[in-house]
Amino acid sequence: MSGAHDEIEATERALVDALRRGDRAAFDAVYDRFRARLFTFLARLSGDRALAEDLTQETFVRLARKATELAPDTRLRAWLFAVARNLHHDHRRRRLLDLDRLQSLALWPEHRAPTESPLDLTEADETRRRLEHALLRVPEPMREALLLVVVEGLSNEEAATILALRPDAVRQRVSRARALLREALEAPKPGATLDLASRPARTS
């Protein structure tokens, strides 16, 4: 684990060194390494594929503009996620998102492991769909902490730097996000039949 972590850090350091020289091949390597992860993070954060595409593009354009000014000790992964997250926050500040509309979007079109049987496929797809929808119901401050720490595997300290929080606060948000995610998974599916019997009787 530590060996693999050291290897990743060494690779990122080498990439930063090359980026500081304006190396185009290094930029391509960074792009191929982080593009899908950043896009997925942004899509789950915003609930909007088109917006996630734009913000992913803007993140890499920012990297290209700043590449030669990066500090030698830049943590590339944290830097990229911080830029992506801040771009999303800037966007949100400019425009309030309509959660209902976002939840109705099909976020993940076709991602199937070829080894799954048709039955497994259906169950797996259903679980994924429910989880993706449940994630969107977790308030953003908790969701972004969960995505960074659990899905992206960043340490609490790295996530704290990105989110401008203390590591303790990140830990609390992740814990709260898990609880809310469980609640959201237990909640009835969107579009489920309404329980009319529980509604108050209409008085005329």
Partner 1 sequence: MTHDETTAMTDDDLDALLRALPSDDLDGVRRERTRELAQRELALSPPHPSVYHRVLEPTLVAAVVLLHLGWAVGAVLAVLR
Residue 102 makes contact with partner 1 by CB under 8 A: no
Rule CB under 8 A: choose which of 13, 20, 171, 176 binds partner 1. 20
How many residues in the chain? 204
Q: Phi and psi for 78 in degrees, rounded to 5?
A: -65, -40
Of 67 and 160, the one with the shorter C-beta distance to partner 1 is 67
Residue 36 makes contact with partner 1 by CB under 8 A: yes
Q: How many angstroms separate the CA atoms of 19 and 202, rounded?
A: 67
Residue in this structure with the two tokens 């496929």, named with its chain if needed: 121
Q: How many angstroms separate the CA atoms of 90 and 92, rounded?
A: 5
C-alpha closest to that of 43 among 58, 56, 33, 30: 56
Contact code string over 144-183 relative to partner 1, x by CB under 8 A = --x---xx-x------------------------x--xx-
Of 14 and 164, the one with the shorter C-beta distance to partner 1 is 14
Burial of 141 from C-beta contacts in 10 A (0-12 / 13-18 / 19+): middle
In the complex, which residues of this chain contact partner 1 (CB under 8 A)? 20-22, 24, 27-28, 31, 35-37, 39-40, 43, 49, 53, 56-57, 60-61, 63-69, 107-108, 111, 126-128, 130-132, 135, 146, 150-151, 153, 178, 181-182, 185-186
